[in-house]
Amino acid sequence: MKKYFSLVLFAHSVFALPFAMIGFFLGVTTTTQSFNWLLLVLVLLCMVFARNSAMAFNRYLDRKIDAKNPRTQMRDIPAGIVSANSALVFVITNCVLFVITTFFINPLCFYLSPVALFIVLFYSYTKRFTALCHLVLGLGLGLAPIGAYIAVTGSFNIVPIFYSLAVLFWVSGFDIIYALQDEDFDKEQHLHSIPAALGRKNALNLSVVFHVGAALCVILPILFTDFSFVYYIGVAFFCAMLIYQHLLIKPNDISRVNKAFATTNGYASVIFALCFLVDAFLRTNFIL
């Protein structure tokens, strides 16, 4: 199990999982739907299975590329820790479990499950033909809020879509920053990314644009929901973390990429989600 946890980088779930909880409790606290522990567990399982499928498939598909890249040579498959066949079996198993789990949630989730799987798996191919791969990754993680909301309500709504767009722009922006590390390698191997296509300075500028979009998308729900001051604190913190990570990275100095990528964004999502949940509980007197 340790090998597989390393394969899927379970710690990276901190990016999308908090936003899935936002979508879930948005559905519980702003509609007539009641809280259900079993449903919460099913949503969490869907998040785990989808994340496992996407990460493991990426490692499986990129195994030869990873073996050539000095930064990724020690990943599990190139290093021989997990075999390629075992990784593929792990992907298929998690895909099946994801679809089965959605069956027990509601019909809409079940019908949409192949679409969700296609998006999160398709990302792994995109770097081979388009620099927009960062947006596809953002789209995959951005399914978390709207997916969790649909799990609760069985319907769509504008507010969870704002949160999904926030994740799309936020993830796309910080994935561009992360990809700065492989700019030269991507060019050598004819792989596609924003840094390889636009250069370091322009890539960082585009990342800023995406993060401005993310900030707007966490602000816009204020027009549709009567939030308390706690939510505003969460928005301020989230935006501050977006600004901070851009202060860490300069076109001539990307030595703090890992801090900007993992630490800063991890705090941003967790604290923002906690502020949302506290606000929702205060406004609705909701009790688990």
- C-alpha closest to that of 99 among 50, 41, 151, 152: 50
Q: Which amino acid is at 164?
A: S
Distance CA 284, CA 288 (A): 12
Domain range annotation of the chain: 2-284
Distance CA 191, CA 48 (A): 29
The dihedral formed by the CA atoms of 245, 246, 251 and 256, expressed in degrees to the nearest 10: -10
**Assigned fold of 2-284:** Tetracycline Repressor; domain 2 (1.10.357)
Neighbours of 40 (CB within 10 A): 18
Q: For the chain, 288 residues long, give each residue's pLDDT as a single digit of tens.
A: 666 666 666 556 678 899 999 999 999 999 888 899 999 999 999 999 999 999 999 999 999 999 999 998 888 889 888 899 999 999 999 999 999 999 999 999 999 999 999 999 999 999 999 999 999 999 999 999 999 999 999 999 999 999 999 999 999 999 999 999 999 999 999 999 999 999 999 999 999 999 999 999 999 999 999 999 999 999 999 999 999 999 999 999 888 888 777 789 989 999 999 999 999 988 887 666
Contact at 8 Å (CB) between 222 and 246?
no
Q: How open is the CA angle 127-129-132, to the nearest 5 degrees?
A: 60
Helix 229-248, helix 200-219: angle, nearest 10:
180
pLDDT, position 261? 77
Distance CA 57, CA 253 (A): 32
Query: Residue 221's Cα: distance from chain center in Å?
Result: 20
Q: What is the pTM of this model?
A: 0.94
pLDDT, position 6? 62
Helix 37-61, helix 133-153: angle, nearest 10:
160
pLDDT, position 259? 79
Distance CA 69, CA 73 (A): 6
Distance CA 19, CA 276 (A): 10
Question: Quick check: helix, strand or coil at residue 32?
Answer: coil
pLDDT, position 13? 67
Query: Which ranges of 128-157 would DSSP assign to H, the alpha helix?
Result: 133-153
pLDDT, position 260? 78
pLDDT, position 244? 95
